[in-house]
């Protein structure tokens, strides 16, 4: 696939944040992976190359937005970085506010998701966004003050977005797990006539499907956790299981603890999957995972100590996975190009 993408890879992240609000990040952020799938690990954000006209437009847009938002473009994935991979973008919003809108109303020829996850509430109130976002879906205005996932079906108008206030660090992200085509927004005319309607509220998930894990499965999980001497404290934060048509999205906070055995067996899927591990090192060290996680990909062990994204192609064996130590909160997630999670236990053995 030609690397034509990507100079526009989610304009929300590439253009409207603007260079003035970005925080410099050291090259020491780069991590290291092993084995034949080492290049499927993403440790940084690859900036799109902007034309002089695009750069000038970005500066003009930032002035128009009257924004004081400070941000760090943390991680991004797209077909120009990994063949066959979907587009994903993750950005830390540290603090500030904006009076103007970011991005114009548009739609795509593929399904997409957007998410906001805050850090202010911590373990006591993990769903507190620690800020306020104004998000427009299908011409309807939504005020977001809780962590959420937003599913955007193909051809559904969405945006603009306004960062009303960022009181504490918020992770802002988007992706299209079922598509590896170039990001091509189709711009549409925006108006506020239907701002108060709620036809698209059904596409926003603020929690998890608690019925997904049966009482019996929870009991088996607790027994397995005891066997591996796990003291890991965690919470299932968000999924999109109750949103019709949404892809497989699963986000979990790991708060603290250790374990001495794997928490997930080696397996494979018929669909591609993205793993993510994002630490909370703060504005001065955003790539610091503050933990050590052991993950096998293709039968090869990798020790992860930096924030990263990992692309697992269809039918590639991955796991076991083990949280060796969680010294500070880590957001871990899996995203799949499928509406339902299925797996095949692999016969491969870790190397």
Q: How far is CA 317 from the centre of its chain?
A: 22
Domain range enclosing 82: 11-205
CATH of the domain at 157: 2.60.120.10
pLDDT of residue 15: 40
Is 3 among the domain residues?
no
pLDDT at 29 > cutoff 90: no
Tell whether 145 and 234 lie within a shared domain.
Answer: no
Is 350 among the domain residues?
no
Distance CA 296, CA 304 (A): 10
- Count: domains in the chain: 2
Is 2 among the domain residues?
no
Is 351 among the domain residues?
no
Tell whether 272 and 125 lie within a shared domain.
Answer: no
Tell whether 31 and 177 lie within a shared domain.
Answer: yes
Q: Which residue, 122, 70, 118, 78, is CA-closest to 95?
A: 70
Dihedral-angle region of residue 164 (phi above 0 means left; psi in -120 to 50 means alpha; beta otherwise): alpha
Is 6 among the domain residues?
no
Distance CA 228, CA 320 (A): 13
pLDDT at 24 > cutoff 60: no
Average pLDDT of the chain is 89
Asked if omega into 320 is within 30° of 0 (cis), the reply is yes
pLDDT in tens, 57-84: 878 877 888 899 999 999 999 999 999 9
Q: Which residue, 63, 55, 66, is CA-closest to 163?
A: 66
Q: Report the share of the chain in percent with pLDDT over 70.
A: 88
Q: In b/e form, how buried is each residue of 220-259, taking b as 16+ CB within 10 angstroms?
A: eeeeeeeeeebebebebbbbbbebeebbbbbbbbbebebb
Assess contact for 278 and 315: CB atoms under 8 A. Answer: no
pLDDT at 282 > cutoff 80: yes
Single residue among 205, 239, 266 that ends a domain in this structure: 205
pLDDT of residue 308: 98
Is 300 among the domain residues?
yes
Tell whether 201 and 227 lie within a shared domain.
Answer: no
Cβ-based burial of 320 (10 A; exposed 0-12, middle 13-18, buried ≥19) = middle
pLDDT at 351 > cutoff 80: no
Tell whether 65 and 142 lie within a shared domain.
Answer: yes
pLDDT at 22 > cutoff 60: no
Is 1 among the domain residues?
no
pLDDT of residue 49: 80
pLDDT of residue 13: 44
pLDDT at 175 > cutoff 90: yes
pLDDT of residue 136: 98
Residues contacting residue 241 through CB under 8 Å, at least 6 positions apart? 208, 209, 212
Tell whether 216 and 75 lie within a shared domain.
Answer: no
pLDDT in tens, 1-13: 333 333 333 433 4
Distance CA 74, CA 169 (A): 13
Tell whether 196 and 310 lie within a shared domain.
Answer: no
Q: How far is CA 193 from CA 101, 136, 140, 141, in A?
A: 17, 12, 8, 10
Q: Which residue, 313, 310, 318, is CA-closest to 337?
A: 313
Tell whether 234 and 251 lie within a shared domain.
Answer: yes
pLDDT of residue 344: 67
pLDDT at 219 > cutoff 60: yes
Tell whether 240 and 118 lie within a shared domain.
Answer: no
Tell whether 191 and 219 lie within a shared domain.
Answer: no
Instruction: Record the tokens describing residue 162, joined without a space.
Output: 């306004």
Assess contact for 106 and 159: CB atoms under 8 A. Answer: yes
> What is the pTM (predicted TM-score) of this model?
0.90
Tell whether 172 and 288 lie within a shared domain.
Answer: no
Is 195 among the domain residues?
yes
Say which range, 16-25, 202-211, 231-240, 259-268, has the weakest mean pLDDT. Answer: 16-25
Instruction: Record the tokens describing residue 71, joined without a space.
Output: 């941000």
pLDDT in tens, 105-148: 999 999 999 999 999 999 999 999 999 999 999 999 999 999 99
Say which range, 44-48, 145-149, 183-187, 342-346, has the weakest mean pLDDT. Answer: 342-346
Q: How many CA atoms lie within 13 A of 128 on its CB side?
A: 12
């Amino acid at each position: 696939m030609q690397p034509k993408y990507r100079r526009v890879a989610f304009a929300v992240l590439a253009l409207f944040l603007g260079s003035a609000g970005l925080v410099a990040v050291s090259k020491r952020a780069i991590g290291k992976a092993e084995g034949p799938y080492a290049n499927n690990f993403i440790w940084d954000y690859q900036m799109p190359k902007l034309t002089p006209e695009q750069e000038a437009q970005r500066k003009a847009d930032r002035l128009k937005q009257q924004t004081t938002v400070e941000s760090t473009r943390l991680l991004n994935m797209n077909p120009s970085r990994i063949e066959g991979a979907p587009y994903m973008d993750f950005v830390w919003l540290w603090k500030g506010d904006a009076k103007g809108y970011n991005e114009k109303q548009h739609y795509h020829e593929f399904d997409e998701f957007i998410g906001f996850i805050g850090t202010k509430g911590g373990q006591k109130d993990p769903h507190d966004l620690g800020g306020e976002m104004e998000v427009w879906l299908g011409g309807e205005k939504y005020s977001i003050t809780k962590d959420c996932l937003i599913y955007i079906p193909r051809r559904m108008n969405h945006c603009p977005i306004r960062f009303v206030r960022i009181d504490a660090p918020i992770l802002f992200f988007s992706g299209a797990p079922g598509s590896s085509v170039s990001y091509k927004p189709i711009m549409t005319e925006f108006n506020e006539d239907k701002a108060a309607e709620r036809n698209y509220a059904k596409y926003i998930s603020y929690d998890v499907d608690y019925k997904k894990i049966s009482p019996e499965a929870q009991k088996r999980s607790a027994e397995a956790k005891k066997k591996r001497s796990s003291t890991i404290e965690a919470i299932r934060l968000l999924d999109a299981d109750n949103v019709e048509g949404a892809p497989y999205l699963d986000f979990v906070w790991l708060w603290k603890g250790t374990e001495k055995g794997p928490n997930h067996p080696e397996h494979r899927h018929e669909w591609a999957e993205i793993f993510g591990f994002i630490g909370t090192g703060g504005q001065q060290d955003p790539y610091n995972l503050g933990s050590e996680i052991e993950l096998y990909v293709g039968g090869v062990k990798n020790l992860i100590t930096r924030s990263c994204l990992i692309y697992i192609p269809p039918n590639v064996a991955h796991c076991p996975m083990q949280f060796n130590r969680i010294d500070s909160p880590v957001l871990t997630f899996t995203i799949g190009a499928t509406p339902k999670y299925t797996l095949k236990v692999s016969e491969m053995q870790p190397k």
